[in-house]
Amino acid sequence: DAKTTQPTSMDCAEGRAANLPCNHSTISGNEYVYWYRQIHSQGPQYIIHGLKNNETNEMASLIITEDRKSSTLILPHATLRDTAVYYCIVRSSGYALNFGKGTSLLVTP
Amino acid sequence: GAVVSQHPSRVICKSGTSVKIECRSLDFQATTMFWYRQFPKQSLMLMATSNEGSKATYEQGVEKDKFLINHASLTLSTLTVTSAHPEDSSFYICSANPGQTYNEQFFGPGTRLTVL
């Protein structure tokens, strides 16, 4: 699976949009971009995934660049409960998720 | 989304004993389940891939005789930590994949193992 690079940590004010970047310059054609988050001492929670097109669901939006070498996860109106470690992962369908270090997002009042 | 449960959520045991952790997919059948462990302030590390009805595939550096995995049904996988030692203390998390063509993977809430 392709490696990803994410900032170690980010801060965001409550109510603002949180934009979390991810670089995956070695992504191959059949690999999807996944985003998960982990709140302290809990199992990871699925957020969103995409292949080439931008995606949106009730939790977030995923913007993937045209060359697919990077993506951005957008939480449109961050709340304190969004404080977590966010993992950007690329993988082919059906295979295990290999977690990097992720981005620790702190949402402040 | 689909639900994956783990039992127990927390276990404390003495060094040398064995501990069994169960992972269940509650509302779907999982042909494949994965076991991870997470040490404090570190990321999740994949331990093994468990396929229903066949032997698990272990990641490099994970002892298959120490971490016994059984995936006897489409809704249950178990991880047994044999002869546990304090260095096995960790957060163990399972995940389940409903099928090869289904892209989401669902995680259990984790099991905190403390070996005294």
Q: Report pLDDT for B15.
A: 97
Tell me, yes or no, if B72 comes closer than 8 A to chain A by beta carbon.
no
Q: How confident is the model at residue B103 (pLDDT cuts 50, 70, 90)?
A: low
Using a pLDDT cut of 70, give the percent of chain B over it: 95
Model confidence over B9-50: pLDDT tens digits?
999 999 999 999 999 999 888 888 999 999 998 999 999 998
Q: Report pLDDT for B97.
A: 80
**Shortest CB distance from B34 goes to which of A41, A96, A102?**
A96
CA separation for the pair A15, B92 (Å, rounded): 34
Q: Report pLDDT for A72.
A: 98
CA separation for the pair B90, B92 (Å, rounded): 6
Q: What is the DSSP letter of B90?
A: E
The mean per-residue pLDDT over the stretch B67-80 comes to: 93
Locate tokens 């957060």: which residue?
B91
Which helix (H) or strand (E) segment holds residue B78: the answer is strand B76-81
Model confidence over A62-100: pLDDT tens digits?
999 999 999 999 999 999 999 999 999 998 766 788 899
Using DSSP's 3-state secondary structure scheme, residue A64 falls into: strand
B104: chain A residues, CB-CB within 8 Å: 46, 49
| Cis peptide upstream of residue A76 (ω within 30 degrees of 0) | no
Q: Quick check: B34 and A94 CB within 8 A?
A: no
Q: Report pLDDT for A94.
A: 65
Using DSSP's 3-state secondary structure scheme, residue A98 falls into: coil
CA separation for the pair A107, B75 (Å, rounded): 37
